[in-house]
Amino acid sequence: MAPEPHPATPSAIDELPVTAPTLATAALPGLPHTLTSRARTLTAAVRKRCADLARIETPSGDAPRLNTLAEELATGYTATGATATRESCAHGDHLVLDWPGRHEELPHLLVVGHHDTVWPVGTLTDWPVEEKDGRLTGPGILDMKGGLALLEGAFALLADLGQRPHRPVRMLVVSDEEIGSPDGRRLFERHLRGAAAVLGLEPGHPDGRLKTARRGSARVRLTVTGREAHAGNDAAEGISAIDELIDQLITVRGLGRQPGTELNAGRLDGGTRANVVAGRAEAEIGLRFATTEAQRRTLDTLAHLTANRPGANVSTEVLSSRPTWPERTANPLLRHVRSLAAALGQHLDGAPAGGAGDTNLAGARGLPTLDGLGAVGGGPHARHEHLRIDQLGSRIALLAALLAVPLPRLR
């Protein structure tokens, strides 16, 4: 997308007081206009990149396809000056990218993304990536192939201008975010140490606002074992795992009526044949939590479920869990980003989000964190998933400014 970057010449940006985010762009005469105009020229290339990435189907758990995309991403990011490292994982490799900064002694800026999607292989057959009415639509185009392409475009913009980020930038692209990052979490926590701030490339709110807080989440597998028997001759000898599971789900569904908890039964499975009493059944439940207390209370209740039928057994396994990232009254990182956006002629704000992501881990610990810096659009996880083409240029410019301008004092 752009030639290899070369060291930037010293400029007033390096003398900027870190306590004055509103003066950030004043230290770079002409920077807002330069970034905005160059971002516009890159929009077509980034739009094509979004589409090309979305045409590589990468459902969670499909290691060959995820690894193919990881290699493609590594190639693109390397062209903008990154050093790429693959982190092996059985269900798809993660990717770690490092860009050098003008001030290598400063703590790194951590950017987090993912290259898995919720869409199964073959979705493109009847839902191809296409452009219509100013929108780019397709499986995973918003969540989050678009965000991955936008950051590549921002680094390409800086490289084209002969600039490097102000400080070192590290990016993690995990392969299992859509299933709660059961393996990616360890990698994220490792690189979280010492980070100056954390930025997430998930899509923004539909109106473009950034995400300043997130609900907690958990994926829980509920497994019931019973006893198989002939459903006609010996039904009384059997213990139906399916019947038990249904009763358990009715009980569990009541948890969603408690304050701060939402519940979705996302997958059910069990039994073998209609003439066999089911000996095993399971359900996968998705949970969202507004508060840490709601999360603790709900998971504790699920851990102590007991069977209604003599001889049946109920077990609960937490497959993945993310802590609640609460809204904070003071948010200097958001103020900084708003000031940069204003200098670029953009009006930008932030608001809490209903979904969870890897940024929950950083936000829950009180680290300077902001998400939603990816594409602007709507319909994630739905058949009308799309991104707005007219918002690509503004996001490229904003990301480039975030990389190039010093961070204020955030803690």
Q: Is 352 left (phi over 0), alpha (psi -120 to 50) or beta?
A: beta
Residue 30's pLDDT is 73
SS3 label, residue 185: helix
Pairing label, strands 109-114, 197-200: parallel
Is the pTM higher than 0.85? The answer reads: yes
Q: DSSP state, 108?
A: P
**Structure token pair of residue 163:** 């600039």
Burial 132-170 (b: 16+ CB within 10 A, else e): eeebbbbbbbbbbbbbbbbbbbbbbbbbbbebbbbbbbb
* pLDDT tens digits for range 334-346: 999 999 999 999 9
* pLDDT tens digits for range 291-315: 999 999 999 999 999 999 999 999 9
Weakest-pLDDT range from 24-33, 170-179, 214-223, 371-380: 24-33
Q: Would you tell me how many other CB atoms lie within 10 Å of the CB of residue 320?
A: 18
Q: Does residue 154 surpass a pLDDT of 50?
A: yes
Whole-number Å distance between alpha carbons of 327 and 214? 8
- Average pLDDT taken over every residue of the chain: 92
SS3 label, residue 317: strand
* pLDDT tens digits for range 91-140: 999 999 999 999 999 999 999 999 999 999 999 999 999 999 999 999 99
Whole-number Å distance between alpha carbons of 103 and 165? 9
* pLDDT tens digits for range 230-276: 999 999 999 999 999 999 999 999 999 999 999 999 999 999 999 99
Q: How far is CA 135 from the centre of its chain?
A: 21
Say which amino acid occupies 184.
G
Burial 284-319 (b: 16+ CB within 10 A, else e): bbbbbbbeeebbebbbebbeeeebebeebebebeee
Q: pLDDT-based confidence at 28, cuts 50/70/90?
A: low
Question: Sheet harboring 280-289: ordered strands across?
Answer: 261-270, 280-289, 216-225, 313-322
